[in-house]
Chain A
Amino acid sequence: MSDVSVRRPEVADGVGTSVLRPDGIPKVTGTFEFLGDQHAAGMLWGATRRAEVAHARLRHVDVTPALAMAGVHAVLTLDDVPGHRYQGQKTTDEPVLAEEEIRRCGEAIAVVAADDPETARRAAQAIVVELEELEPLTDLEEALARGELFRHVRVRRGDPDARGEVVVEDTYAIATQDPAALGTEAGLAVPDGNGGLDLWGPTQWTHVDLPQLAACLALDPTQVRVHPARLGGAFGSREDLSMQTHLGMLALRTGRPVKMVYDRTESFVGHVKRHGALMHYRHEADRDGRLVRVEARLLLDSGPYELTSAAVVANSTYFALGPYRCERVEVDGYALKTNNPLSGAMRGFGANQPCFAAETQMDRLAAALGVDPLELRLRNAIGPGDHLATTGQRIEHPLPVAEVIRSVAAIPLPDPLPGPDVDPRRLPGGTGRTSPPGALVRGVGYAVGLKNLQFSEGFDDDAEARVELTPDGAVVHTAAIEVGQGLVTIVAQIARSTLGMSGVEVAFDHTGQIGSAGSTSASRQTQMAGGAVLRAAQAVRAAALERAGGDDLDDAGVWRDGQLVASLADLLADGPLDERVCFKHRPTDVPDADGQGDLHVDFCVAAHRAVVDVDPELGLVRVVEVAIAQDVGRVLNPLQLHGQIEGGIAQGLGHAIMEEVLVERGIIRNASFTDYLLPTCLDAPEVEAVLVEEPSPWGPYGAKGMAELPTMSATPAVVAAIRAATGQPLTRAPVRPEDIVRGAPA
């Protein structure tokens, strides 16, 4: 395998080029079949009856009025679950359908299958549900006091007596954020006639859904085929099961295909959110601005079921400081059990919340010391050879912390404040013309984000891929989920450059056809699915050269000394050329009692700079520009990478100034796009990006995962810019207009 690892620059559409998405034309012409567009002959429609309060005792459920309705084929409750009654990725603690205690608003009580969706909806409402409402537990401090928690992650490192002279201390709050993927949850289950079924549902990891579904449906895993989903976005919200078990139950009971689609309001209770958090921080530094001691206490609101919260709070705890050295670190992170909406994975996975608090602390520490906030960060920046201040892990691989800070600061600032003739659509008040240009104040703020790549804490993580040669080219097989991020393009590019062939297509296989690719999350698939594809392609190329006795492979076939010696068809006449590889990254440690160990595979870092114009009288904000300098390893597809940066920044901007799930007594008060505000075209800032390329020693072609960082430190950077413009403390995100006008919330 001497030359198989060498890049073949002559290959069209290989790594490093802005290859266009193969699913682009179907998506722009409306023919791409998303989950909710799927149909099956003889299909029924499902609907769900849900709890409308957050905590209750379920006294009685009478399904007879629903069953009596014409066109209704099944009405199922907990007693109809064929197998295990609980689901969950790690701890199976979420009841498939409500048991005696209802623990969250929106908990599914019963599911219905009917001839059409309107009948199903009416039947679900016709079910008689008798509840005895109980007091919901919604306060994080109270949950902690009562010991209602899924996990406490404790970090202690360094000299306990280390103390700094300059102290900043405060409490920060960040609201629950909804992932708000544009495609709501939708799915289809089709019985196979042999007692099993095929299932399409909103997922980011089919192979983690499979054992849960098989257990709940009392089927052998070979009887369930979980198909890759064509999702309208995910952002973490499809890591946990939503409707899949319900669809399976209804399809098995009726013997017919069943489809279900949540509307937006149901979607708000149908998927997990980014944890809202309450965070207390104390930073101590010496007079030279060196961090000496950081104490943090992080309370994350998980809702009533564990799902991924134990891993989320670990990330919050380990990345509680940001990319800085510190002599003494004491962090306690708690994933708390409440009756609030379910939280779980969302882009950044627990690292975003402390990033908001800790980066604000760094700005305030800089102010207390009288030094420039970037200079303070640079003085404390870690890099290769240093140890992570929380877990003590030595940074082995490239981590250009100082470089991203310097690079973002070097980007020229945008034009100054708009003059009187500016188009009002570029002002905070927009066409309402409430913000006279002369009254605006501009602010500039910075933040830096550090997080892990891949899964951590000893998780046995792998990805399988298969590369198959056909007479017409190569086919990459993977179970990795394409959520819109462009995996379909990236793995094909990796295969092209490795094989030496431009004719590469990607087949997304179901769980019966290929092994797990792991989750499309944790910024992992470019390196994990991509790593598996790289190795499978290397093996196929080597096998092809060996079979034909050649020294090169391209779309025509195998060559020797510049002569074609075997076409692809010739090669395959002697049997298939088909290699399957399971790729693993290096193992990681399980933390000790002080949270110490080599818990992470690798790290990535980015720095943001936000520029905002603020109307201080009305508390309105327009984000003018967000600049980012990001550690990306190597860029495999510049166009897609920029798309991930801009999209990630928009989500971080949303969490800074508008996105907030409002919850009262555990009930979401803004479960619609009318009331939960998302950034629009008019809110989109200019984006400037600098990509810092220091190749990963183990990522394919030097690539690192990159799609979470653009969101992470965007939020604190935007808030810092508003703080710089207004002088208000702004310890809460998103910033509400009253925080700007009146100051800090009580």
Chain B
Amino acid sequence: MIVSLTVNGEPRTAEVAGFESLLWVLRERLDLRGAKDACLQGECGSCSVVLDGDLVCSCLVLAADAEGAEVTTVEGLGDATSPHPVQSAFVAHGAAQCGYCTPGLVVALAHLRENRPDASPDDVREALAGNLCRCTGYGAILRAAAEVLGRGDPGAGPVGDPDGTRSQGDGEVTP
């Protein structure tokens, strides 16, 4: 069947099979491989996109159900020349390490910022709890979130301020 939808503001059509997910169609039919496929059962959030205003796991949405929908993926938030504030904050705080969870987390946090700009630190943690990250331990992600939401997360800890580290020894460094 042919599915027509709006992706990142552009009208797109794709030939899809009935069993294909929105994630598959984004990645393989529309060449938007930002959304990832880490679990394919709605547990990890790596495939997060915004569908008609709702944050969804695109692996759990049948592509056919996206007919007429408006979809925003990580590619639609910003690019190298004009990154979204969430994207800039992720880089600045070291919140992307291997980076596999990053597109989903960026979409989820941008959605939270858009819809709940007054989210408390605990709200942030709950909102992002559906996005698994295996590399960072979440601290840098929470600090990025605190920056874009304009408030600190007391649970994100002072580790994020490298200058605040209590290190021993003098500063001279030689090979």
Q: Within residues 54 to 112 of chain B, which ones have a CB less than 8 A from any CB in chain A?
A: 73-75, 77-80, 83, 86-88, 90-94, 96-103, 106
Interface residues on A, range: 35 or more
Please state if B162 and A692 are interface contacts (CB–CB under 8 Å). Answer: no
Q: Within residues 10 to 55 of chain A, which ones have a CB less than 8 A from any CB in chain B?
A: 15-16, 18, 20-21, 23-34, 36-37
Please state if B39 and A693 are interface contacts (CB–CB under 8 Å). Answer: no
Given contacts A180-B134, A264-B40, contact A688 B157 (CB under 8 A): yes
Q: How far is the CA of A642 from the CA of B166 in the complex (A)?
A: 12
State the main secondary structure of chain B at its contact with A. loop
Please state if B133 and A15 are interface contacts (CB–CB under 8 Å). Answer: no
Please state if B140 and A643 are interface contacts (CB–CB under 8 Å). Answer: yes
Please state if B34 and A29 are interface contacts (CB–CB under 8 Å). Answer: yes
In angstroms, how far is the closest chain B Cβ from the Cβ of A694? 7
Q: Which residues of A contact B165 (CB under 8 A)?
A: 635, 638, 642, 689-691
Question: Which of the 9-residue segments A60-68, A678-686, A721-729 touches chain B?
Answer: A678-686
Q: Which residue of B lies closest to A650 (CB)?
A: B137
Q: Which residue of A lies closest to B31 (CB)?
A: A39
Given contacts A184-B37, A646-B139, contact A678 B125 (CB under 8 A): no
B24-39 Cβ-contact flags toward A at 8 Å (1 or 0): 0001000011111111
Please tell me if B155 contacts chain A, counting CB pairs below 8 Å: yes
Please state if B142 and A642 are interface contacts (CB–CB under 8 Å). Answer: no
Q: How far is the CA of A179 from the CA of B128 in the complex (A)?
A: 21
Q: Which residues of A contact B19 (CB under 8 A)?
A: 118
Please state if B94 and A639 are interface contacts (CB–CB under 8 Å). Answer: yes
Q: Which residues of B contact A231 (CB under 8 A)?
A: 98
In angstroms, how far is the closest chain A Cβ from the Cβ of B146? 13
Q: Which residues of A contact B14 (CB under 8 A)?
A: none
Q: Which residues of B contact A687 (CB under 8 A)?
A: 137, 139, 157, 159
Please state if A21 and B162 are interface contacts (CB–CB under 8 Å). Answer: no
Q: Which residues of B contact A33 (CB under 8 A)?
A: 33
Q: Within residues 1 to 54 of chain B, which ones have a CB less than 8 A from any CB in chain A?
A: 17, 19, 27, 32-41, 43-44, 46
Please tell me if A484 contacts chain B, counting CB pairs below 8 Å: yes
In angstroms, how far is the closest chain B Cβ from the Cβ of A434? 16
Count CB-based A-B contacts (< 8 Å).
261
In angstroms, how far is the closest chain B Cβ from the Cβ of A412? 11
Q: How far is the CA of A261 from the CA of B155 in the complex (A)?
A: 37
Given contacts A28-B91, A681-B131, A694-B169, contact A686 B155 (CB under 8 A): yes
Please state if B169 and A21 are interface contacts (CB–CB under 8 Å). Answer: no
In angstroms, how far is the closest chain A Cβ from the Cβ of B60? 12
Q: How far is the CA of A425 from the CA of B129 in the complex (A)?
A: 11
Please tell me if B152 contacts chain A, counting CB pairs below 8 Å: no
Q: Within residues 158 to 191 of chain A, which ones have a CB less than 8 A from any CB in chain B?
A: 179-184
Q: What count of chain B residues pass the 8 Å CB interface test?
A: 80
Q: Within residues 647 to 698 of chain A, which ones have a CB less than 8 A from any CB in chain B?
A: 647-651, 672-674, 678-682, 684, 686-695
In angstroms, how far is the closest chain A Cβ from the Cβ of B57? 11
Q: Which residue of A lies closest to B17 (CB)?
A: A118
Please tell me if B136 contacts chain A, counting CB pairs below 8 Å: yes
In angstroms, how far is the closest chain B Cβ from the Cβ of A121? 11
Q: How far is the CA of A184 from the CA of B46 in the complex (A)?
A: 12
Please state if A30 and B168 are interface contacts (CB–CB under 8 Å). Answer: no
Q: Which residues of B contact A6 (CB under 8 A)?
A: 174
In angstroms, how far is the closest chain A Cβ from the Cβ of B96? 4
Please state if A642 and B37 are interface contacts (CB–CB under 8 Å). Answer: no
Q: Which residues of A contact B77 (CB under 8 A)?
A: 29
In angstroms, how far is the closest chain B Cβ from the Cβ of A20? 6
Please state if A672 and B159 are interface contacts (CB–CB under 8 Å). Answer: no
Q: Which residues of B contact A7 (CB under 8 A)?
A: 172-175
Q: Which residue of A lies closest to B126 (CB)?
A: A425
Please state if A261 and B37 are interface contacts (CB–CB under 8 Å). Answer: yes
Please tell me if A426 contacts chain B, counting CB pairs below 8 Å: yes
In angstroms, how far is the closest chain B Cβ from the Cβ of A495? 11
Given contacts A26-B80, A29-B74, A33-B33, contact A182 B134 (CB under 8 A): yes
Please tell me if A423 contacts chain B, counting CB pairs below 8 Å: yes
Please state if A673 and B41 are interface contacts (CB–CB under 8 Å). Answer: yes
Name the 10 nearest CB pairs between A and B, nearest first. A30-B34, A484-B98, A232-B100, A638-B162, A27-B99, A646-B137, A650-B137, A30-B74, A24-B91, A673-B43
Residues in A lying within 8 Å of B, measured CB to CB = 5-7, 15-16, 18, 20-21, 23-34, 36-37, 118, 179-184, 231-235, 261, 263-264, 403, 407, 423, 425-426, 431, 483-486, 497-498, 534, 538, 634-635, 638-640, 642-643, 645-651, 672-674, 678-682, 684, 686-695, 700-702
